[in-house]
Structure 1
């Protein structure tokens, strides 16, 4: 006896135009599959509203009158291609892996989509918004994504995501745009000192690029009068100092490191940054930086980081 055709299998179940799913799929399994698609893409399930993403119909008429078999909407063709892609991954690629700890492990739509239509990481989503509509588009989109998805594990909505984009804009000299995004970041992460720190760092960095290291130090000192140390702290000048150092502006960087050491004389990190920058710039010799660490360890004999740096310099030629 010949095997039943795909068309016959569909007709037996009352289906029309099934292409990517099994022709003999049960009505319950088909319903569960469709619901899994809705959940994976974050589409609404109320009254079949999410089904309209791929299927032709209207909420104004009963679903029995919808044109379920129609291929009019491009999203249906996309969905079929995605279904086949998932099938290939599970049946060909994952099944062929050796030493699998979980042989039953499979991917699904939710693996990438995770409750959203656009499966791209947030950096790409925000980058596209920036290209299309400028910083205003990002400033509108990010709070919406943060409100809807924060804590859901869908996007990386930590402080650093928008901070990185703001820093990239600053590197291009677009400080107004960078500060705009940093302000959005502060609003989304109200009370988080690390979000405030990004704004403060951009403010100091803008002064550096516009007017030089002395102006940056002056802005930093003014900020210290009003900003809590948990938001400002030594890391602002330290980070800007090393950024400046790495682009061959060692003299400017040393101004920042010296100011930071003066502001935070009891912190090891301001000592280390200044010592290492001076040595790297050729301002002090190998013997002098060794002596500097030895002097620090006389006052702080149990400091492991200082001891490690001293050992490294003693070993170097």
Structure 2
């Protein structure tokens, strides 16, 4: 199952791919709509995601692992999470989402293949068959993503598949936290930028990008079930289960470094530096960054900082 897990692990680690309009810039290319399937039930199911805190005499930083895209009806923003958020002066996210038109232009800047070489010409054999089948499942023509680079096609393929099954970026954790912060007048800052996150994908060697696309195609039938399982681990909460998923899904050392370990190290240093200033902050980043031996919490120990669950 490692091959089919890796793509979903990326969704635990990157924020911008799940909240931005994922459409091709070419006007001849059909839009990759993220309109969710309407959810008829209004029942809210309780969830209790994990929350950590690092503090000293005058500084408190709450650490909360997020899922960037969720189905409506999951009640996670209450109890300890809401209390910590309300106590905080500032919301810290992976990135502050730019306006939609800026996000669309930025995605196009990175996602469109400048050489003009069609995406499908990079695939062959079983990989091409799986890709064509996956495109049909989301209602797109075979050449619908031909202007895209492989990573962008893989991301959009997954997001459309999830959206067609009721997953909605507007129900994602960051979207709800951002709305609550704006309503209460809390400043919102990011430790990364959308451009920086897109560059992580864009700078991956083509072989790694194609591997991601091929995995996204191969897992099309299992995508929703595996995403449901990931959400269950988050909601229980079961950080150890998420860590095992990470270990299985990030076997590629290039992807492991670029998506997880280097970013965790930068964020741990950011927290260490921020602890020198007074205040209370609520820091919400992808749940995969707060799981396992390479987690942000684990790395904070090197700075002499103790993190409590």
Query: Normalising to structure 1: TM-score of the pair?
Result: 0.23
**Bigger RCO (CA 8 Å, 6+ sep):** 2
Query: Normalising to structure 2: TM-score of the pair?
Result: 0.24
Pair member with larger Rg? 1
